[in-house]
Chain A
Amino acid sequence: MTDYGAVLFDPVYAELGVPAVMGTTEITVIDNIRAKPLAIVTSTGAAEVRSMGPSAFARVYELVAKGIARSTWLGATLAFNGKTWAVRSYELRGSPNGEDAGEVLFLLKEAAAS
């Protein structure tokens, strides 16, 4: 079977990835911070807080290879592109080779507020 990590994820990360530090371990992530209007307010929709959703993609198999266990993801710090975030949640994005051969989308929050 095709190794989707080698033919798909690794070339994408080589092009779009940025250096990151998760805890104390260097990894590569794709900065997925998105500007979005976050409608958080009111049943009448009278107001919205304009905000953004910080997140980053990482390769699960890279994390495994570097000893970053899934049990340590939540609450871990993740620094990239000049900002330090904390992992508040995550979504697994598997590949045809299986869950551990795919990506994870880390949902982040400001580390200073943790």
Chain B
Amino acid sequence: MTDRREEILERLVALVAAIPNIRWAQRNNPDIPDDQLPAASVFDGDEESNGDIDIGSSRPPNRPYVVRMTPEIIIAEQSNEVGSDLATLRVELIKRVLNDAALLATVGTNGNIRYLGCQTDLGWGRSLQGALQAQFTFKYPLKIEEL
């Protein structure tokens, strides 16, 4: 049994946890304590399939699908140099996701990984805090016989 979606999400958590200086990495946790920064949280992404392209055809419902999942990764940090710190963490995040052999193997030769972009936000807590929200799209086959 193989659930590529779950494999990708689990691998993303492992990747962000290994980014240098990240002290706290979790999945789908929206509450980040400020004494654990820099921290990262991976949020399960929306998924779309190509299921509607042949809805009027006689192809069986268990045909192979191609799906695209777009998880979000949030990295938060606090320091007087929070902009530079986030820039460094962003570089590490992008490099690790796009070059990861395990992720590339999971999406397969017909799949792909794309970095879509990021948004940032700032605020004051006990010091200057910043957060970066990055999106990646993973295109991979959904084979019913694998599930």
| A50, B78: Cα distance in complex, Å | 12
| Contacting pair A40 B80 (CB below 8 A) | no
Comparing A5-13, A94-102, A106-114, the segment that makes contact with chain B is A106-114
| Contacting pair B74 A107 (CB below 8 A) | no
| Contacting pair A46 B43 (CB below 8 A) | yes
| Contacting pair A49 B126 (CB below 8 A) | no
| Contacting pair A43 B43 (CB below 8 A) | no
Is residue A54 contacting chain B, with contact meaning CB distance below 8 A?
A: yes
Name the interface residues of B50-104: CB closer than 8 Å to any CB of A: 72, 74, 76, 78-80
CB < 8 Å neighbour of B129 from A44, A51, A54: A51
Residues of B within 8 A of A72 (CB): none
Interface size class of A (residues with CB under 8 A): 20 to 34
| Contacting pair B126 A52 (CB below 8 A) | yes
Across the two chains, which residue of chain B brings its CB closest to A85?
A: B126
Chain A 50-66 near chain B by CB (<8 Å), digits 1 or 0: 11111000000000000
Chain A 5-44 near chain B by CB (<8 Å), digits 1 or 0: 0000000000000000000000000000000001111111
| A113, B41: Cα distance in complex, Å | 24
CB < 8 Å neighbour of B30 from A46, A109, A113: A46
Q: Least Cβ distance of A103 to chain B in Å? A: 20
Residues of A within 8 A of B32 (CB): 41, 47-50
- Count of chain B residues with Cβ under 8 Å from any Cβ of A? 29
Q: Least Cβ distance of B60 to chain A in Å? A: 36
Across the two chains, which residue of chain A brings its CB closest to B74?
A: A47
Q: Least Cβ distance of B129 to chain A in Å? A: 5
CB < 8 Å neighbour of A47 from B76, B125, B126: B76
Name the interface residues of B107-144: CB closer than 8 Å to any CB of A: 119, 121-131, 133
Q: Least Cβ distance of B145 to chain A in Å? A: 34
| Contacting pair B133 A109 (CB below 8 A) | no
Across the two chains, which residue of chain B brings its CB closest to A86?
A: B127
| Contacting pair B119 A47 (CB below 8 A) | no
Is residue B34 contacting chain A, with contact meaning CB distance below 8 A?
A: yes
Residues of A within 8 A of B80 (CB): 113-114
3 nearest A-B residue pairs (beta carbon):
A51-B125, A40-B123, A41-B131
A to B CB contacts below 8 Å, 6 in the list = A41-B133, A47-B30, A48-B31, A51-B34, A88-B124, A113-B127
